Amino acid sequence: MNNLFTNTGSSSFTEFLGAYAPNLLPTRTQALAAPVGEQIPHATTIVAATCVGGVVMAGDRRATSGNIISQRDIEKVFRTDDYSCMGIAGTASTGIEMARLYRVELEHYEKTEGRSLSTEGKANRLATMIRGNLPMAMQGLVVVPLFAAYDPGRDGGRIFGYDVGGGPYEQHNYHSIGSGSIFARGSLKKLYRENATPEDTVVACLHALYDAADDDSATGGPDVTRRIWPVIAVITADGFRRLPDDEVAVHVQTMLDARMTNPDGPTAPLR
């Protein structure tokens, strides 16, 4: 094998690719004109909340182009390594490409260094990739991910939000991004409980997505007729686990049954 590819000189796959095949990087592609960018499907609401021994991330399945539903079953939550995941909001195609490249970035680091990045290192590495997308964001192709990981040093979950410039901001307890985030965050504010079990946290995240879909047209609620359910990931010391659709369907049906008598969902006690 050519030493060029075995001795890259950097633990960063992005830097390696930029040196030898810069045309393959998403940030080196030609930016689209704004009117075209507005027609590209956009991903919306992602929520995340910590739980006992880990963290839960959930995303709805709708992608929109203006006022049009462009896809009903898009994937917005991605496994990035055994103990982390990211959700995307913004330009869907750019976000999916960034998630795939970020996963390779973490794998490349682990293979070249013989160890995994720390949780802070993972968050900072993603921040660098977002910052590299800034020229595209200025053209309207904005991607703002949400990153969640299990931190073995704390034996718990951690959540990081970002701005367009890539700044990582650790969020405590829960966070949400996307067009429905203000409604989802309000729902989590009343439903979130510290030290809740992963299962209870999954239910809280489902309610938050439902509340977001109730008030934000770009966020899709569970589609019972087509059997399209939110994507839900749970990360603990046992690693990343995406809940199978059958398991999510049970939680969704329980939630919908409760909403038949209480359309606005559960309320928080005053004390």
For tokens 């027609």, what's the residue? 39
44 is catalytic: yes
Name the DSSP letter for residue 50: E
Residue of 6, 8, 14, 44 marked active site: 44
- Eight-class DSSP state of 193: -
**Longest pairwise C-alpha distance within the chain:** 66
What three-state secondary structure class fits 178? Answer: coil
Tell me how far apart the alpha carbons of residues 241 and 56 are, in angstroms, rounded to a whole number. 10
CA–CA separation, 220 and 42 (whole Å): 12
CB 149 within 8 A of CB 83: yes
Residues 58/206, Cβ–Cβ less than 8 Å:
yes
Contacts 24+ apart (CB under 8 A), 109-118: 109/11, 109/12, 109/13, 110/81, 112/8, 112/10, 112/11, 113/11, 116/81, 116/83, 118/153
Q: How many CA atoms lie within 13 A of 107 on its CB side?
A: 10
Catalytic residues: 44
